[in-house]
Amino acid sequence: MNDNQGMRLVAPRITPVLDPGFRPAVLANRAWREMVRQSGVGVPVALALEQADGSVFHFQTEVMPTGHHQAAGNLFHVERLVKALLWLWGGFRIHVQGPAEIAAGLQRHYQEQAQGKFDSEIIGRRIYDHPIEIVPANKLPPARANSMPLGRNLDGCRIGFDLGGSDRKVAAVIDGLAVFSEEIVWDPVKQTDPQYHFDGIMDSLRRAAEHLPRIDAIGGSAAGVYVNNRVKVASLFRAVPPDLFQSRVREIFLEVQRAWGGIPLEVVNDGEVTALAGSMSLGANGVLGIALGTSMAGGYVNREGNITSWLNEVAFMPVDYRPAAPVDEWSGDLGCGVQFFSQQAVGRLLAVAGLALDPGLPLPEKLKEVQRLMLAGDFRAEKIYATIGTCLGYALAHYAEFYDFSHLLILGRVTSGPGGDVIIAGAREVLRREFPELAEQIAFHIPDEKDKRHGQAIAAASLPKLRT
């Protein structure tokens, strides 16, 4: 339990009440760095992740020398870091400056192992149109980052929508003021015919349009990766066959735009809109936004108030390094954030909490029942939220090693009701006791109940610029 492929794991000071085996990634990495430092013989490993647009992002760590009795954990340590970097920052070509066996081990991982092949297919081929490449390097390519302003356009009559895995939200906005918002249950993840998705999107837009004198622009957010309004990869369309994905899904939002007369339309990752909503409401930058819903979404607004070309797919980032960590149903990888900070986390913890719900109930209905029990003061439901909160505190410390942020915005269906307060309290207690420097640095921001459920749709409405 306290070792994984040669890397020592560390038990947290605060044990998640329903998940005592949790071994935080951040504690394992800190212990690794300290072990290497004390040895006095650490070997630098420098990584550069290259994207198709020429952006290059650097990250550095250290490993033990080849042949050292503690070198067994070298590859696991670096591979888990690369996994995090790929899903947070993105890239298809990974330059590795360090021991040759590290690059060779990573190459085998992405070519031969199931989890690595999944990442190579989704991130490499589907997002960047290249399989993941591992390039041993004597010198890294220079760092280069692209960033751009996002949204904050409040003029005119706009529609904003947010597409989740269990509901779709829409808002009608006039000069920055929401005059209508609505949430409708749907079930897109299991649908094989993209006409279902198209009809649902159009239905929500029409409902919002009834409350506006005209439509000047449409902005939207959804889980996944979108480039120039084209779908690269998205869990909403997971069940759509590949041929239909290529012929219909990739340009489904361009089809929506045509149906509305070609007016300005922008669609981006839902995590980006989460961060944008926080930045706009706070009047501050350096914002990390996370949404705990059907899955888990992340977004980041940097210190300059811009978004970067990063993916921010925190759902796939490993936060638990134990060998028996919960398995992500899509990627097959262990310890990913989606299993700790989403409806899937609630479903996973039900039995451990002593709650026997109908196993045939969909996850949204299970969450509703847990929320009902929480309102009634049921201690079993409270333990579920407390467990999520404790794990979140350690995850935030892990995120802080990759993101420069001072403001954290948390929203999503899982945070609705008093359970959200328990989650925040648990995360804050972890930071206070384990990471006091971060407790001083990070300010938590929790939207009110209406904004929790509809804030993303309202912020999405500000994405497009009006044509002059």
* Buried-state track 67-78, b at ≥16 Cβ within 10 A, e below 16: eeebbebbbbbb
Total-model pTM:
0.88
Average pLDDT over residues 288-302: 90
* Calpha distance 331→315 (Å, rounded): 11
Strand 407-411 and strand 287-292: pairing?
A: parallel
116 has a pLDDT exceeding 80: yes
Mean pLDDT score of the chain, rounded to an integer? 93
Task: Give the contacts of 298 (CB within 8 A, at least 6 positions apart).
Answer: 88, 271, 274, 275, 288, 289, 290, 291, 312, 313, 314, 315
Dump pLDDT digits (tens) for 4-34. 999 999 999 999 999 999 999 999 999 999 9
The predicted structure's pLDDT at residue 437: 97
Spatial CA neighbour of 453 closest among 408, 423, 407, 417 = 417
Cβ 431 vs Cβ 393: under 8 Å? yes
Instruction: Say if residue 103's pLDDT is above 90.
Output: yes
Task: Give Cβ neighbours of residue 98 (< 8 Å, ≥ 6 apart).
Answer: 43, 44, 45, 46, 63, 78
pLDDT given at position 458: 79
Euclidean distance between CA atoms 57 and 238, whole angstroms: 29
pLDDT of residue 424: 96
Helix (H) or strand (E) holding 244: helix 242-244
Q: List the domain boundaries for the chain.
A: 41-145, 147-468
Token pair for residue 431? 């930071």
Rounded to the nearest 5°, which phi and psi values hold at 199?
Answer: -65, -40
Q: How high is the pLDDT of residue 363? A: 93
CA distance 199 to 129: 29
**Percent of the chain topping pLDDT 90:** 80
Alpha helix stretches (DSSP H) within 21-153: 25-39, 74-88, 100-112, 114-119, 128
- Please report the pLDDT score of residue 449 as a whole number: 61
Phi, psi (deg, nearest 5) at residue 171: -140, 145
Helices (H), 138-228: 194-209
Assigned token pair, 326:
């919960």
Cα separation of 84 and 26, whole Å? 12
Mean pLDDT across the stretch 385-406? Answer: 98
Q: What is the CATH number assigned to the segment(s) 147-468?
A: 3.30.420.40
Q: Could you tell me how many residues make up the chain?
A: 468
Nearest partner of 457 among 299, 122, 222, 120, judged by Cα: 222
Whether residue 286 is predicted with pLDDT greater than 80 in this model: the reply is yes
Return the DSSP state at 366. H
* pLDDT, tens digit, 9 for 90 and up, residues 179-224: 999 999 999 999 999 999 999 999 999 999 999 999 999 999 998 8
Task: Report the distance separating Cα 395 and Cα 271, nearest Å.
Answer: 16
- Is residue 185 within 8 A of residue 167, CB to CB? The reply is yes
**Which of 170-174, 281-285, 345-349 has the lowest average pLDDT?**
281-285
Mean pLDDT in residue range 361-386 = 96
Q: Phi/psi at 56 (nearest 5 deg)? A: -135, 130
- Name the pairing type of β-strands 43-50 and 56-63: antiparallel
Task: Say which DSSP state 336 is in.
Answer: B
